[in-house]
Amino acid sequence: MPRTSPRSSTSAGLVIAVIAAFSFGMSGAFIKPLLEAGWSPAAAVTVRALVGGIVLTPAAVILLRGRWSALWRARWRVLLMALIGVSGTQLVYFAALERIPVSTAILFEYMAPVLLVAFAWATSRRMPQVVVLIGSVIAVAGLVLVVGPAGGAHLDPLGLAFGALAMVGCAVYYVVAAAPSDDLPPVALAAAGLVIGGIALGIVGLTGLVPFTISTAPTTVLGGIVPWWVPMLIVGVVATAVAYTANITASEMLGTRLASFAGLLEVVAATLYAWLLLGEDLTALQFVGGALILGGIGFVRSAREPAGLEPAAAGPVAAGPIAAGPTVDPTPTAPLTLA
């Protein structure tokens, strides 16, 4: 049987990463009507995570085939995915949004790939390849054009601190997602992480630490009036269950660094969905930004070898103790992601 070459594996991983990004990015167009109907962001993320986890659970049970020991061996990875990737990053992101502009919060969180490059540089004491550095600069420039520059002359220090924590949480998410699977199917990791993370978010919401409001009022989706559960089901199945599974699969194939840069496509996808489905403006600069993000990913992919991050980062995760983590943005014009 012919072996799969590293290049073809990377290409397949990038295709899956694009599927994950466009699945995640879909959430904004369907969560926005729920927010307008009275849902709080924390409540929307909690229900979304629980729906996605419940949808994935039967497939996870089937794929595990009774190998529950694989789930137990990966317990720290699962807990990190749940408590940081699904819930922790969400909470600090919400806290940041209360104190700093949305564009600033998004820029902070999606600087996670650059943080990972810097972490690898610091821990390995080897400068990343030039193509990685060039790709980082180009991708960040594209991100600024897509979401807009950081706003506000007087930024709240606590808000900036929460934004930095969201960036760290997103970086940890990719480290956990790309860690060695140890025979744990991506579907099982996604299902367990979503269910546990959703429960954790719900507990935090019920304690009153963050606004937690659910509305059963009908919502307007794509020009039609539908029950509240229709957009939530779409988000739970496509933008959560499918998206998380695809993202974890791609991360295992691509490694932490390349997967995190590919995750920037989620911002591009959310902007396109907002334009196509919600009629929001799409500027020429945003098109340029999307092209720059693609160019940055291309530069990072062209690196001959990993920059040393994966082995250093994956070890502690496999032994014990992460969007993207993915985030939710309660504003109509910014992308909503949970990853």
Give the domain extent around 99: 8-319
Q: Is 70 exceeded by the pLDDT of residue 327?
A: no
CA gap 322, 193 in Å, rounded: 11
Q: Is 90 exceeded by the pLDDT of residue 152?
A: no
Mean pLDDT of 40-49: 91
Torsional sign, CA 140, 10, 175, 129 = negative
E strand or H helix that includes residue 224: strand 224-226
327 belongs to a structural domain? no
CA gap 186, 214 in Å, rounded: 30
Of the ranges 49-53, 114-118, 122-126, 233-237, which one carries the lowest mean pLDDT score? 122-126
208 belongs to a structural domain? yes
Mean pLDDT of 256-275: 89
Stronger pLDDT, 319 or 51, i.e. the higher one: 51
Mean pLDDT of 92-102: 80
SS3 179: coil
E strand or H helix that includes residue 309: helix 309-319
Residue with tokens 């291309």: 298
3 belongs to a structural domain? no
Stronger pLDDT, 79 or 321, i.e. the higher one: 79
Of the ranges 28-37, 195-204, 272-281, which one carries the lowest mean pLDDT score? 272-281
297 belongs to a structural domain? yes
Residue 242 makes CB contacts below 8 A (sequence gap 6+) with 19, 20, 23
332 belongs to a structural domain? no
pTM here is 0.84
Mean pLDDT of 227-231: 93
Q: Residue 245: which pLDDT band, with cuts at 50, 70 and 90?
A: very high
Mean pLDDT of 11-29: 90
Mean pLDDT of 261-271: 90
Q: Is 70 exceeded by the pLDDT of residue 280?
A: yes
Q: Is 60 exceeded by the pLDDT of residue 120?
A: yes
Q: Looking at the 3D structure of the chain, how many domains does it have?
A: 1
CA gap 286, 273 in Å, rounded: 13
Give the CA dihedral 184, 188, 189, 193, nearest 10 degrees.
Answer: -150
205 belongs to a structural domain? yes
The pLDDT value recorded for residue 277 is 80
337 belongs to a structural domain? no
The pLDDT value recorded for residue 10 is 84
328 belongs to a structural domain? no
Token pair listed for 126: 């080897």
Q: Residue 271: which pLDDT band, with cuts at 50, 70 and 90?
A: confident
